[in-house]
Amino acid sequence: MLVQRNLDRSLSRISRISTGKWRAAMVNSYPASPRAVLARYAAETSVAVFMRLDTLPLGAVMLVKPEDVECVSRGFTGHSFPASGRISKADEIMLTELGNILLNAAVDSLLNALKRSALPAIPLLLEGDAVELAERAAGLLSMDAPNRAVSAALSLECEGLAVWTLHVFVPEDLAREIEALL
């Protein structure tokens, strides 16, 4: 699959310059609105990195559990930032940059299939439960629009195991266009 290949390539590059084993697994596609996908995380607080392209109606989100931020930080930067119980400014910068790399890798694979280009989107970091994230992301994504969600489980082994998810939201008409090209 297109998204799997680009994520694997990006994680391989990250692995060469950082510590730990980075992996993308379980990439799948299914009909779902952004609100329905976020509802799966209703019982937990997450740190979310959102991005939305201005030129095409594509959006994406990377969700990380706060307890996994230290492991992700250690794997991505080589050291963990002091734990404070909250997401620090250093954590925010690190997660935003990691989200920028991975979300753009996933979105770029779809743009390449469509033979279209777009300026990279600037990611935005939000923290909260599913309801809070859906409310705060309403301006970024069409929360109830019919979409095809392309989801991936990402993991990092680095003195522990961190698992998080990435979701790209593709309007159904673009999803059908991509499928016709493959």
- Domains assigned to the chain: 2-181 (3.40.1550.10)
Residue whose entry in the numeric block shows the structure tokens 């930080």: 73
Amino acid 155: pLDDT = 93
- For the chain, how far is it from start to end, CA to CA, in angstroms? 10
pTM of the entire predicted model: 0.89
DSSP 55: S
In a structure prediction context, what are the per-residue pLDDT tens digits for the chain, which is 182 residues long?
A: 678 888 999 999 998 888 888 999 888 999 988 888 888 887 788 888 988 887 888 889 999 988 898 889 888 888 776 666 678 888 999 999 999 999 999 999 889 888 888 887 789 898 888 778 877 776 667 766 778 999 999 999 988 889 999 999 988 888 888 888 87
Q: Rounded to an integer, what distance in angstroms lies between the CA atom of residue 33 and that of residue 145?
A: 6
Q: What phi, psi does 149 have (nearest 5°)?
A: -90, 130
Q: Rounded to an integer, what distance in angstroms lies between the CA atom of residue 18 and that of residue 76?
A: 6
Residue whose entry in the numeric block shows the structure tokens 């997401």: 87
Residue whose entry in the numeric block shows the structure tokens 């999803």: 175
Amino acid 97: pLDDT = 94
Q: In sequence order, what are the residues at sequence separation of 6 or more whose Cβ sits closer than 8 angstroms to the Cβ of residue 13?
A: none
Amino acid 136: pLDDT = 76
Amino acid 82: pLDDT = 66
